[in-house]
Every structure is written in C-alpha cells, then in structure tokens.
C-alpha cells in the first residue's frame, strides 16, 4: 500500500523516451515504482492527463523574493518545482553592513525589480554568503531553491568602491575572491555567476561590477570551482562578443573541469552571430568540454503598457509627470483627447540609442491579446497596421495602449526575432549543446513577462506552433526537467523513475495555455510586476505533496533550500 498512486497517466518521463501509459507509486516523497503498481492510500486518476517531472528553471532572480514569498510565484504556477537563482552576477551576498542600499540599487537597475519592494521585503540577517544560505535554510516554499555566488556582490565586498567602479583587481583581491568563492561552494552554492554585458547597469547607470574583469580575475575565481569540484560558472555575455569570449570560456572549462554556461540570443545587429556561438559550443563538445549556451524559449520581448517600464511615449515631456500618479489617475488622464494630442505632438527626450530604438521602432511592436502569437507576422506590426488604417504608428500605439480601459499592451521582440526569423529558436532548441534558460522569473517586473516559459514551451513548441516546425513533446519535457536539473548536478530529480524525487506535473495537455500578461501590485510596498497565469495544470507535486491543484495553491510547502549537488535518493 503506497502513500500515493497516480493511475493511468500518459507518462513523458523526462529522459526523452517515447510517451507511454503508466502508473506511478510514491512513498515518503520518492518515486518507488513506475508501470503497473499496487494500491495506494491516495489514488489519483490520471486517465487522459499528461504526467511529467516537475520543471527545473535554472535562470531566475528570486534572490530577494525567496526571503518573503512562500509560493515563489509565478514559477510555482507553471509547474516549476526547482529554481536556481543568483544569475547574471547580481544577488545579495556577501554584503558589508553599509552596502545594503547599494546592492538593492544594483538589482533594481539590472533586473528591474522595484527598489522599494526590495527595501521593505528583505530582512538583512547575513553578511557572508554562508550566512545568507543559513538565513534561507528551513524556509518552507512551494519550490525547492538553490543559488549561486554573484560576482557583483563578491567584488564589491572584497574591493569596496574600487570593485563597484570596475577598477582592476589586484592579485590580493583575486586571492580573496577565490577564497570566498571556495567558502561559498563548500557552504552549498550551486555555482558562481558574472555579467559581462554593458546592458546590465545599476540604478545609477554604472555597469555591474565584473563587467570588464580581466581573464586573470575570472580564472582566479574559477580555480575555486576546480579545486572543490563543485558548481557551475554562469556568464551573461555581451551578445556581439560571444564568439571572441568563447576562447576564455573554453579555458575556464579546461582548467576547472566544471560546466560553463553563457547566454546566447539572436540580435538585430548581426542576425547570424548566434550560429557562430553554436559553432563554438560544438567545438567545445568535440574536445569534451562542458560548455553550454542557455537560450530563451521565445523572443525575449518587452511588454509595453502605460503602467510598465517602457512604451513609445515613456520619454515624452507630457507623459513623464504621470509616472508618479497612481495607475488609476494615470489611466484617467490619458483618456483626455487634449492630452493625447499634446503627447503625440511632442518629441521624446533622448536618453540613449537603446531607449530610442525601443520606443520608436514600430515595425517591431505588436498588439497583445488573449490569442496572441509570440511569433507574430510582419503584417501585424503597428507600422503595417497603421498604413492599412491610414494613421500614424504613434496614433495607433496610443489608442492600443488606451484600449481595455487603459490596460492595453504591446509586445516588442527584442532578441531572437530579427526580421521575423522563424528558424533561430527552433534551431537553438533542437541543438544538443544548448540548455533551456533565461526565463528571468522574478525579475524585469515592469518590462518582461517570461516566468511562464515552461508552459509556453509545451503549449507552443509541441502543439500550437503555426508558422514553422514543431518540436517533439518528449524533447521539450526533457529540456526543462532532466537536462536542466542535471546541468547543475541535481541528479535526484528531473526523471520519473524509481529512486527520484516525486516532483511531478499532471497536465490537461489539450487545455494547457497562457493567459495574456497583466500588471499586479502585490510586491512589498505595493511594488508592481507583470504576471502571466497558466491554465491546464491539474496538479503539481513536490516531494510527493500536492502544492497546486487546478491552478490554486493547496497550502503545502515542502520546498527547501538546496545546498550543493544531489545524487539519486536511492
């Protein structure tokens, strides 16, 4: 008599093997049998339901949210049972007692998480990275969670203002960073992360510490991974520099014999550059090096709204005062025809090339609705629609944002969608040396809404895709279960087989889908964030406990901090 028996599911087990009908038996939070199993104290009839391992999201930014949010939403709403945070070189430990506000400003600038929410939500009970882990240990959550040591926090802790200002590290600085990295890995860090892209800046516009770090500094820190034989070296690279920086990545992988991961996306400036990045990981694989490209599930797109971070009129003189108004007051004001005419007649302030590109490129803006296709055709852009309707793109954009009582939204595919290229993401996700990543769940609260990526991967790539080839369901399940879990040494999860953790999704595959994004104000201090709800999840189990059922939390919180790698349970 087992604790739980799931009966007659359509099992996709996370290995890539073909789907099959099977029962699953669970005891003490562990899968004990798969196939035809006996009775259970609790029996779940899964006839017609898809059964997968719980999803493992290796690129999140819950470093602060994990301290106050039991559910780790939105990830737990999308079948995610394990998250890895501390990516892109930003996080909250180690930290000197007088640097709390500075780290908040760094996270706010890089990841667009409201600083007021961070300031109110975080209770600083640590200085060292080990103390940070101790403060998280024992917290009950709806997902398991692990973290990496962030370069930005480490560098500023060791070097003070010199580190924050990206001055060169001395040999003594590198030695201390190596020592603290080794201590963090031994305390349970899942790896080390850094950022080398100038896009990542603090709230004051300063590049994140480590952006220009010399190879000697990265190799010195990497030595800690090699000596402990622990952890992943995760890097957010400048897109255009990926091919030239890969030699340094290969060197790190050779010396440390540890996995090295970097972010890979298609960019408009050089749409074929990502293929050179893929060629690099193929060379690394041929040499036996564990170098992987993390790729997003869809175009990394900016969601635009009157109440979001970006939209075409965000830098117009008459709109800027409305930013301090309440959302209700802002919405009312923008219904005024006179204000509409005034804003449309104005020129935007010039903040930089990137800001100008995002706010004025109307052939890359698309209207979001409930049936929105994240691979929109060019004739659906605002520029194309405005020509048909005989108005300017600016006029159309204003009216689209004013739709739905001022809650209208636009989508701007920033990366992975140059000229509507439909092959790029298909090729990236079909490639054996890439990993599913870059959901950025918990971050970019006012601009990007990709925390629901696991749901999108199943519904879009395996079932709904209209403008290109689909990918096999078994392949997509493996990519966000065993492939992601095992890339961080979490070998106790990601597969439905005896001896693995009972982290499980039961999904009504035909009903699976995403609602349109919306803005909510549920962070501490009333902070704003974009969320996107899912439909079709019948149940998500973590350690054999049902944490969500038909889209609603059950109150069960079996998730805990992960300290280091994990082997199979039995």
Instruction: Give the pLDDT confidence of 125-151 residue by residue, as tens digits.
Output: 999 999 999 999 999 999 999 999 999
- pLDDT-derived band at 110 (thresholds 50, 70, 90) equals very high
Return the bridge partners of 530, or none. Answer: 519
- pLDDT-derived band at 370 (thresholds 50, 70, 90) equals confident
- pLDDT-derived band at 69 (thresholds 50, 70, 90) equals very high
Q: Where are the domains of the chain?
A: 2-53+502-552, 85-299+418-434+444-449, 308-407
Backbone phi and psi for residue 45, each to the nearest 5 degrees, phi listed first:
-80, 110
- pLDDT-derived band at 569 (thresholds 50, 70, 90) equals confident
The DSSP element (H or E) to which 186 belongs, if any, is helix 171-187
User: Given this model, what pLDDT does residue 420 score?
Assistant: 81
424/213 Cα distance (integer angstroms): 31
- How remote is the C-alpha of 138 from its chain's centroid? 24
**CATH number assigned to the domain with residue range 2-53+502-552, chosen from the 4 options 3.90.1150.10, 2.30.40.10, 3.40.30.10, 3.90.930.12:** 2.30.40.10
User: Given this model, what pLDDT does residue 199 score?
Assistant: 87
Q: Alpha helix locations (H) across 62-146?
A: 100-111, 115-121, 129-136
Cα R_g (the chain), whole angstroms: 23
User: Given this model, what pLDDT does residue 50 score?
Assistant: 98
CA–CA distance from 127 to each of 76, 99, 100, 159, 179 (Å)?
Answer: 29, 10, 10, 15, 16
162/174 Cα distance (integer angstroms): 13
> Do 20 and 11 contact (CB within 8 A), yes or no?
yes
Per CATH, which fold does 85-299+418-434+444-449 belong to? Answer: TIM Barrel (3.20.20)
Burial of 288 (0-12, 13-18, 19+ CB in 10 A): exposed
User: Given this model, what pLDDT does residue 294 score?
Assistant: 98
- How remote is the C-alpha of 303 from its chain's centroid? 15
The pLDDT mean for the chain works out to 96
Instruction: Evaluate if pTM is beyond 0.95.
Output: yes
């Amino acid at each position: 008599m087992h604790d739980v028996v799931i009966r007659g599911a359509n099992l996709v087990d996370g290995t890539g093997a073909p789907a099959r009908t099977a029962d699953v038996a669970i005891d003490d939070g562990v899968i004990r049998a798969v196939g035809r199993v006996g009775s259970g104290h609790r029996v779940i009839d899964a006839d017609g339901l898809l059964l997968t391992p719980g999803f493992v999201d290796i690129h999140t930014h819950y470093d602060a949210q994990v301290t106050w949010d039991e559910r780790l939403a939105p990830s737990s709403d999308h079948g995610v049972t394990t998250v890895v945070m501390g990516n892109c070189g930003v996080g909250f430990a180690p930290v000197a007692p007088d640097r709390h506000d500075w780290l908040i400003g760094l996270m706010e600038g890089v990841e667009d998480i409201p600083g007021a929410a961070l300031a109110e939500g975080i209770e600083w009970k640590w200085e060292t990275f080990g103390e940070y882990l101790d403060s998280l240990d024992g917290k009950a959550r709806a997902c398991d969670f692990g973290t990496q040591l962030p370069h930005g926090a480490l560098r500023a802790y060791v070097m003070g203002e010199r580190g924050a200002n990206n001055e060169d590290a001395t040999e003594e600085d590198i030695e201390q960073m190596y020592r603290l990295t080794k201590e963090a890995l031994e305390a349970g860090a899942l790896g080390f992360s850094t950022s080398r892209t100038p896009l990542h800046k603090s709230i004051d516009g300063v590049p994140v510490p480590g952006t220009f770090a010399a190879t000697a500094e990265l190799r010195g820190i990497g030595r800690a991974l090699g000596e402990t034989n622990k952890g992943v070296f995760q890097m957010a690279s400048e897109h255009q520099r990926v091919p030239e920086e890969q030699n340094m990545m290969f060197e790190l992988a050779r010396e440390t014999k540890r996995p090295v991961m970097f972010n890979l996306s298609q960019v408009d400036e050089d749409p074929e550059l990502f293929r050179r990045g893929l060629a690099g990981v193929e060379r690394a694989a041929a040499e036996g090096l564990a170098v992987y490209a993390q790729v997003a599930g869809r175009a990394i797109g900016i969601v635009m709204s009157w109440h979001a971070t970006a939209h075409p009129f965000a830098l117009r003189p008459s709109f800027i005062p409305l930013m301090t108004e309440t959302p209700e007051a802002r919405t009312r004001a923008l219904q005024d025809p006179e204000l509409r005419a005034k804003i449309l007649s104005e020129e935007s302030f010039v903040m930089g090339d990137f800001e100008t590109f995002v706010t004025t490129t109307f052939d890359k803006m698309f209207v979001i609705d409930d049936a929105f296709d994240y691979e929109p055709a060019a004739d659906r852009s605002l520029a194309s629609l405005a020509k048909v309707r005989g108005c300017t793109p600016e006029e159309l954009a204003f009216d689209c944002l004013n739709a739905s009582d001022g809650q209208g939204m636009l989508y701007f595919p920033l990366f992975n969608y140059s000229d509507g290229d439909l092959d790029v993401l298909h090729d990236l996700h079909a490639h054996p040396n890439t990993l599913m990543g870059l959901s950025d769940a918990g971050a970019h609260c006012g601009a990007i809404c990709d925390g629901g990526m696991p749901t999108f991967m199943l519904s879009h790539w395996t079932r709904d895709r209209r403008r290109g080839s689909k990918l096999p369901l078994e392949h997509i399940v493996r990519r966000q279960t065993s492939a992601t879990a095992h890339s961080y040494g979490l070998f106790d999860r990601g597969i439905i087989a005896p001896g693995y953790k009972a982290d499980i999704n039961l999904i009504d595959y035909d009903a699976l889908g995403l609602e349109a994004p919306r803005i909510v104000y549920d962070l501490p201090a009333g902070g704003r964030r974009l969320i996107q709800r899912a439909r079709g999840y019948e149940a998500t189990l973590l350690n054999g406990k049902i944490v969500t059922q038909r889209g609603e939390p059950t109150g069960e919180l079996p998730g805990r901090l992960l300290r280091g790698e994990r082997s199979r349970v039995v």
